[in-house]
Structure 1
Amino acid sequence: MAVSIRFRRGGRRNRPFFRIVVADSRSPRDGKFIETLGYYDPLPDPEIVKVKEDRMVYWLAQGAIPTKNLKSILRRQGLWAKLVKMAEEEKLKAKSKAQQTEQKTAEPQAEAEVATEQGGNDDRPEDVH
C-alpha cells in the first residue's frame, strides 16, 4: 500500500482550510485517511501551519511520500529540513535495532549447529547383530 502525506480540504466556499493527513495514495482527496498530522490555514497574513512533528517523522521513516504542495509549505515554514533529519535518524535507529536482534537470534542458531556437528549422528539407531 503506497501511503502519502497530503492535504484534506475543509472550510466553506472561498474560505479554505486544510488538514494534513496520511492516506492511501489511491483514496480520494477528501476520502478515507489513516491519521491526521496537523492543519494549514492559508488565509491569515502569516499563514498558519501546525504539525505533530513526532508523527510526521514516524510516517516519513515508514516511507510515506509527501505531496509537492505540502513539501513546499513545510519548506517555507522552515520545518522540512528538520523533519527529514529527524526521519533519517529514526531510520538509522530502527536499522541498528534490527541488526542487534538479528545478531542475538543468530548466536543460538550457530551454537546449535556446532553442537550437532560435534555430536555426530546420534539420531541413527545402532545395528544389532
Structure 2
Amino acid sequence: MVIIRLIRQGKKKIPFYQIVVSDNRFPCYGRFIEKIGFFYPLNNNKENFKINMFRLNFWIKNGAKISKRIYHLLKIYKNKNNVIY
C-alpha cells in the first residue's frame, strides 16, 4: 500500500521533515517514490510548510493513504498561501 508520510531530517534538536510518497513495506527512512513537499516546524519568519497539491491529489486518486500527521498539517495550513496549488 502506498502511504504519504513525513521523513525526519536535520540535526539534533533542529528537525526538518520531507513529505514523501512511499510504499509502507519499506522502512520510514528508506526508499520513497516521490518527494511532494516539506515541513519545517521551527521556521517562524518564512514559509514552514509547502506541499504540491497536484501531486497529492494524484496520489490520493490512485489509492494512497495519508498519515495522521500529514492530515492534521493540511487542516492547519489549508487556508494559508504557502501551499502550492
Which TM-score applies when normalising by structure 2? 0.85
Cα offset, 1:45, TM superposition: 2.7
1:31 aligned partner: 30
1:18 aligned partner: 17
Q: Which runs of 5+ in 2 are unaligned?
A: 80-85
The ranges of structure 1 where at least 4 consecutive aligned residues each deviate by more than 4 angstroms after the TM superposition are none
Q: Which runs of 5+ in 1 are unaligned?
A: 80-129
1:48-107 CA deviation, whole Å, 9 max, x = no partner? 11111111110010010010011001110116xxxxxxxxxxxxxxxxxxxxxxxxxxxx
Cα root mean square deviation, aligned:
1.4
Alignment of 1:50-129 (within 5 A): 50-78=50-78
Number of residue-to-residue matches in the alignment: 78
Cα offset, 1:37, TM superposition: 0.4
The structure richer in strand per residue is: 2
State the structure with bigger RCO (CA 8 A, min sep 6), 1 or 2: 2
Once residues 29 and 60 of structure 2 are traced to their aligned partners in structure 1, the CA distance between those partners, rounded to angstroms, is 21
